[in-house]
Structure formats: structure tokens, C-alpha cells
Amino acid sequence: MTVQTQNLKWVQLCQRGDLVAESGVAARLEDQQLALFYLPDENRVYAIDNHDPFSQANVLARGLIGDLHGEWVVASPIYKQHFRLTDGQCLEASEVQLKTWPARLNNNNVEIALAL
């Protein structure tokens, strides 16, 4: 993803301590629900839409994460489709792609970027 930093506004969602290593938690931002996945070994956080389009439930933060063909994915806990953490692409249905946000750890703050 090439995003111009100056067009982004970083907002804090929670603290590093709220995250669970190699697993997900859900956070809210106004009407949006985000699933945050934390990879401590890479010191990375991924933020993707918490809404599972197949079950219509807000559950992706509670899915298991892992790698398939070398890429990080989350498996929906309901019908088990896989979504790529980097860009939200569903591996089982090419037409389905979830919203993602640039996310980072800023010291102990967990932040995502919103386009201005």
C-alpha cells in the first residue's frame, strides 16, 4: 500500500496491553467496528473490518489467525472463510474484500490512520 503520510490522520484506539499476542480484539470507532490483530514478533498490528460479510455478524476479531501460502489471514469463526490481513481480500471469494486501515504501534499506543 502506498499511502501519503501527510494525508493521514492517526487516531489512537487503545493500548498495546489491550491487544492479545497472535490473536484479535475488537475496537470501535464511531459507527465502525475494527478487528485488531497483533503480531509481537513483527511488532505489527493489522486493522480490518470486524464485520463478516458471510454471516453478517461482527465476529472477525474472534477468528483464528495464521498463514496460508505465506500470507497472514484470519479465519471467520462462523463459516471459516479466510481474509488476508494486509488487504482484506477473501481467499475463497475473489469478489469479497474487506476494508482495512493502516495501523501502527506508537510506543504503547495502538493507532490507525484515517484518510483526511
Write out the residues near other proteins by the rule CB under 8 A.
13-14, 18-23, 25-28, 33, 36, 51, 55-59, 62-70, 72-73, 75, 77-78, 80, 82
Among residues 40, 16, 24, the alpha carbon closest in space to that of 75 is found at 24
- Tell me whether residue 51 or residue 102 sits nearer to other proteins (CB atom): 51
Q: Which of 81, 97, 77 is CA-nearest to residue 89?
A: 97
Q: Which is nearer to other proteins, 3 or 93 (CB)?
A: 93
Question: 19 or 100: whose CB is closer to other proteins?
Answer: 19
Q: At 6, give phi and psi (nearest 5°).
A: -70, -20
Report in angstroms how near the CB of residue 4 gets to other proteins at its nearest: 26
Q: Which is nearer to other proteins, 75 or 96 (CB)?
A: 75
CB of 113 to other proteins, least distance (A): 16
Residues 35, 70: Cα–Cα separation, whole Å: 21
What is the distance between the alpha carbons of residues 50 and 52, in angstroms, rounded to a whole number? 6
